[in-house]
Chains A and B, each alone.
Chain A
Amino acid sequence: MSKRIITYAQAINEALRQEMERDSSVFVYGLDVADHKGINGTTSGLAEKFPGRCLSTPLSEEALMGFGLGAAINGLRPVNVHIRVEFLLVAFNQLVNMLASARYGSNGKLSVPIVIRVLIGRGWGQGFQHSKSLQSIFAHIPGLKVIMPATPYDAKGMLIAAIRDDNPVICMEHRFLFWQEGEVPFEPYTVPLGKCSILRSGSDVTIVASSWSCVDALDAAKVLERKHNILAELINVRTIAPFDDATVNQSVRKTGHCIVVDSDWTHCGFSAEVAARVQEDCFGSLRSPVTRIGFAPTHCPTTRPMEDLYYPNAETIIRVTEKKLGLKPADLSDEKFHNYENKFKGPF
């Protein structure tokens, strides 16, 4: 397959365009999907290329979620887009009470092939209503699938798989990732939902990361190797529900140490679920308790110095690993990590 370097946003746009070309039952709708900004470029050009199939909507999130359910159970394949996860909460009633249980409540007679794309996470100064992630809330509900592609390759392949899936799939896209570049085949392809990937092999510690945390964890893993000769095995969870715990457990049995970095709060969060499953399955292999890293247990403040305290970063992961393995803290003053100011450019 022919590969070239494109961004995460371009990968999503290409997935949507190719699936709309392939299947006329696929359509895209949501607030501002057809405007000049096109949801960070991810829906750009679709309204022109596919008349009547890329629709900007009224600000009626709840009705539009139910609308998507109605379209899906009658045979269409809607892609509903939310530019902030906070706005998706307005549709929570439909999502949890209706979409999640429609198949079960009909004893399998109704099929709900809908994708809900939602932008999550940090952006500078976004404050407490424009920056949440909340993946564990959605992953808690049986009947929903929750994916968090972290690379351009995954973004295209997982979104195509989600569109072809017969279940409601929530595709959570961290806004920092949109500028990330990587190798992506031009031809349509799928990345199976419910499978982790190993971003980096190692034998000393397992780091399980979701979404943007994969970028921080990869930065941290490189520094750990250079400064301490520690080889971290980095697992990109890719799918929160259903969760591929087998890959994680296999790694932890090898390394004996597990750190979970999740772009969300830790309390009742996905990181807690990973920790629980690892201790259930790998109790005898663990050489230290599972450590969780996530947002500070407070609201996201707007002012920058406090915002920096709220979010964990690559340095947090390095310090946690050093402590876990009994290493002296390395000097990080010369290290450059990925952040908003130097928008992520490098391929994974």
Chain B
Amino acid sequence: MQKDLELELYQSMYRMRAAERAIQQEYPNNQMKTPMHMSIGEEGIVAGICTALKEKAKFYGTYRSHALYLAVTEETDGFFAELYGKVTGPAGGKAGSMHLASPDHNLIMTSAVVGTTIPVAVGGAFREKYMNTDKIAVVFFGDGAVDEGVFWESLNLACLWKLPVLFVCEDNGLAIHTPTSVRRGYDSLGKIARQYNCLVYDSFEQTDVLTIHAMAKKAYAEIQRFRMPALAIIPYYRYLEHVGVNEDFDVGYRSCDEFEQWLAKDPIALLRRRLINQNQENAVVSIEDAVNKQIFISVQKAKDAPFPRPEELYRGVYGE
């Protein structure tokens, strides 16, 4: 069982990394005309949480949504089609990279204005409580979103009305290029959050997927048991530039040394090593081969798919 879980998590994370490596290769061809906010470095967080809470949660995210989309949907055809602006994408090309979502898979919404899906998730959680279901809402956002008033408004509302929501702060220490040290008039988000009537999970030092997976299981149980929301604060490192598919260590706002320290605890490399040590090399390689093949085919399908027809421009502004 544990072995199956580890392989499942590895497949999930490897899919994200391989898909984004494919984007890095293809993007310079200028056929994916959508700003890319890459997830590389973040995989352990979404893979751990989404795998743990599949069927138990509805998910909300940000414009840095590639990994989240892949974790929840486990598919790459629609993913690449959306990036190529094709009609076969989950939003028929209208959403692109910054609004990747699939309500059919319970990835309800992602958004390109910082902090905006946080209250939406709280409303989603209200619906679950209102309808007396056992589902929770899970919303991912960066540390920059914590600078927005709407984060605090949403946290307060969820605590006040005891709503089943897991807030996940993916803390890469940067809002675009500005570090938390020049943005915050306080030391610890976790410390402040403990003054609210919510659960706080903030003892992470890396994005070890098994640790995060276990936290998500525990959070779900405690949200239900204590009837209160939870906040997880998980530090990670953004390997690439804020937007775009390249590294940016040459521009000087952060050092390559820092990156190398994080790379040494890269969640995908860590889990791969662990699986190899457990004599799972064959299973690992077979996952990697299958995923690489899947992505190759998805990219081809996306390139071959048609663009939306002109009349699509007006469809979906209003419902009937």
Contact = CB atoms under 8 A, between A and B. Distances in A.
B121 A70 contact: yes
B138 to A, nearest CB: 12
Contact of A63 (B108, B119, B131): B119
Interface of A: 27, 52, 57-58, 60, 62-76, 78, 93-94, 97-98, 102-112, 142-143, 145, 165-167
B317 A66 contact: no
28 contacts: A58-B160, A62-B119, A62-B153, A63-B150, A64-B119, A65-B119, A66-B119, A67-B157, A68-B123, A70-B120, A70-B125, A70-B126, A71-B123, A71-B126, A74-B108, A74-B127, A97-B113, A103-B318, A104-B316, A105-B99, A106-B91, A108-B315, A108-B316, A108-B319, A109-B90, A109-B91, A166-B320, A167-B318
A53 to B, nearest CB: 9
B154 A105 contact: no
Given A63-B157, A102-B109, A107 B92 contact: yes
Contacts of B150: 60, 62-63, 66
A104 B118 CA distance: 20
Looking at chain B, what size class is its interface with the partner chain? Answer: 35 or more
Contacts of A107: 90-92, 94-95, 316
Contacts of B109: 73, 102, 106, 110
User: Which of A60, A68, A76 gathers the greatest number of chain B CB atoms within 10 Å?
Assistant: A60
Contacts of A145: 318
Interface string B127-138: 110110000010
A109 B126 contact: no
B124 interface: yes
Given A68-B123, A78-B123, A104-B316, 14 more contacts: A60-B156, A63-B119, A63-B156, A67-B119, A72-B123, A74-B108, A74-B128, A97-B116, A104-B94, A105-B95, A107-B92, A108-B315, A110-B108, A112-B319
B122 A63 contact: yes
A66 B130 contact: no
A73 B108 contact: yes
A67 B122 contact: yes
Contacts of A108: 315-316, 319
B316 A69 contact: no
B65 interface: no
B28 to A, nearest CB: 27
Contacts of B128: 74
Given A98-B116, A103-B317, A103-B318, A66 B154 contact: yes
Given A74-B127, A104-B316, A110-B108, A58 B156 contact: yes
A76 B127 contact: yes
A270 B208 CA distance: 56
Contact of A74 (B58, B95, B101, B157): B58
User: Which of B91, B130, B137, B318 gathers the greatest number of chain A CB atoms within 10 Å?
Assistant: B318
A71 B124 CA distance: 5
B157 A71 contact: no
Given A58-B157, A62-B153, A106 B103 contact: yes
A72 B160 CA distance: 20
B212 to A, nearest CB: 24
